[in-house]
Structure formats: C-alpha cells, structure tokens
Amino acid sequence: MLWLLFLTLLLLGSSIAGTPAPDPENELVGIVGGHSAPQGKWPWQVSLRIYVYHWASWTHICGGSLIHPQWVLTAAHCISRKDADPSAYRIHAGNVYLYGGKALLNVSRVIVHPKYVTAFLGYDLALLQLSKAVDNTAYIRPVRLPSASLDITPEHQCWVTGWGAIGMHQSLPPPYRLQQVNVQVVENEVCNQHYHKASGHVSDDSTLIQPDMLCAGSEGQDSCYGDSGGPLVCRVSGSWSLVGIVSWGYGCALRDIPGVYTRVTTYVPWITKQIGTCL
C-alpha cells in the first residue's frame, strides 16, 4: 500500500499551495481541459471556505453542491475533523466568480460520514447545514439527487465543475471563473485495472476502486486540486443529477488514469436520512 503515497486528494493545499511555478510539461487548459462556465448553468455549485489568517480572508478549499435549500454536500476529506466546528466554515454560492463579492453563508452543522477514515477507502462525503435556507434564484438552485438504483454508464453525458487547478502545477488564474468539463464515466472494473497498472501492481487483485466510488475522466479532461467536494453531474431523463463528489486521483488528467468520485447513488438513503431527521 506504499504507493498510496502517490495518490492525491483533490483539495486545495494538498499540492498546489507553494508550488505555483508552471511546469511546461503540464500546460493543460481547463478545470483540466475545460472552459469557463456560463453564469447560472450550474447553480448548485458552491465554494467551501475556511478562514486563513495569513491572508485575512475566507479562502476556497473545496467545492460542494447545494442539494436542498439548506444543505450542501461535499467530500469528507474537505472537513479536517469529524467533530469540526461549523463556525469554522462559510459557503459561497450564486456566482461563477470565486470571489464574486456575494455575502458568505454561515454553516450551523457539519455531518461527516461516520465510517470515513481516508478518501482512498471510501465514505468520502459530508453534509453541511446552512444557518438559513437560501432562496432559489437564477443563480442559486439545488441539484437533484439520483435515485439509489440509477446505474451510471459510460454513455451518460456527465460534467464536472470547479475552481480547482487547471493543470497539475497550475492553479486557476484570476478572475477565478468556474470551469466545466465533459468527462466520460469509466466502469469500476476498468478503472481498477488502470490504477493497478499505474501502481505497478498488475497481478495484485485487490480492490482499489471500491463499490462506493465512481471513475470519470480521460487524458486531458479531469478534475484536479481544489475541485474536491464538487459536483459530477449527469443528464438523467432530461435533467441534471448529482452522481459524484470529486474525491481523489493519481495526478490529474493523465492518460488512462480517471479521476475518482464518491458514488452518490450509494449514499442517497444515508443523505436523505440525515436531512430528514434535521428538518
């Protein structure tokens, strides 16, 4: 399991902080390979903020998705501790520009999945309850959760969005506009083989890609550092459904190394239970 050290969580600070020098080998454009998102196209996308004294500002660490007027779904690894203090977080919603000037929303409750240990073992999800429900506007609207039985295939039209790095050593430049990229879902078995190959443990039949994970992305089209917690949405019978949460990967956008997401369908019953009991 030593090679796990080479895997990367896709939250900000795990890699790009302090390594801003662009690497010509990685001159990739996009979220990686994406484009600027139109205002209002992904109205559930939020930015999770923590206060950084050094910059005296609420700083982006992860993405997230509004799944209810008062709830945000993100990755557990974006929240450092299970007993995290809700007042340590803020949510920015309703703007494609990361520091678009809108008031930040307060968080009143943090629920990390109780079985979460590390993203590489799964259970990488957390819920944040907002102090006050947000009103739907053209730019702020929750995304649908899929039905727990939905089978996601490579034929689905899926997109991932975020303000993360646009290359392995290249953070998103100002004015920090939300990026979107179309990614293809990769079956777990195939993804597991790719990861075994990347690790050099081809004959090892251990499961690296757990059933509660989902892979998507291809060479040049992927999520990257700073996108963690953000949405992977797919078109399902005419509307967007939240099928994945950006979780981890091996580098970004490398050939035959898809990004790994938390498979939301697995957790729909857990999510609805948490939200239901707090209403």
- Catalytic site positions: 77, 124, 228
In angstroms, give the least distance from the CB of 106 to ligand NAG. Answer: 4
Reduce the DSSP state of residue 72 to 3 states and report it.
strand
Site for ligand NAG in 109-168 (CB under 6 A): 131
Q: CA 9 to CA 228: how far, in whole Å?
A: 7
With respect to ligand NAG, which residue has the nearer C-beta, 32 or 134?
Answer: 134
Token match 């795990």: residue?
A: 14
Q: Environment class of residue 224 by beta-carbon count within 10 Å: exposed (0-12), middle (13-18) or buried (19+)? A: buried
CB 87 within 8 A of CB 107: yes
CB atoms closer than 10 angstroms to residue 120 = 17
Residue 8: which H helix or E strand, with range? strand 8-9
Closest CA to 11 of 162, 222, 219, 159: 162
| HEC assignment per residue over 68-123 | ECCEEEECHHHCCCCCCCHHHEEEEECCCECCCCCCCEEEEEEEECCCCCCHHHCC
Site for ligand NAG in 39-98 (CB under 6 A): 87
In angstroms, give the least distance from the CB of 56 to ligand NAG. Answer: 16
Residue 108 found at the interface with ligand NAG (CB under 6 A): no
Size of the site for ligand NAG (CB under 6 A): 3
In angstroms, give the least distance from the CB of 82 to ligand NAG. Answer: 22
With respect to ligand NAG, which residue has the nearer C-beta, 80 or 131?
Answer: 131
Residue 193 found at the interface with ligand NAG (CB under 6 A): no
With respect to ligand NAG, which residue has the nearer C-beta, 134 or 234?
Answer: 134
* Structure token digits, residue 206: 């251990």
Q: In the complex, which residue's CB is closest to ligand NAG?
A: 106
* Structure token digits, residue 54: 């050094």
CB 248 within 8 A of CB 119: yes
Residue 63: which H helix or E strand, with range? strand 57-68
In angstroms, give the least distance from the CB of 51 to ligand NAG. Answer: 11
In angstroms, give the least distance from the CB of 87 to ligand NAG. Answer: 6
Q: CA 24 to CA 263: how far, in whole Å?
A: 34
With respect to ligand NAG, which residue has the nearer C-beta, 36 or 131?
Answer: 131
Residue 106 found at the interface with ligand NAG (CB under 6 A): yes
**In the stretch 195-224, what mask flags binding to ligand NAG with x, by CB under 6 A?**
------------------------------
Residues that bind ligand NAG (CB under 6 A): 87, 106, 131
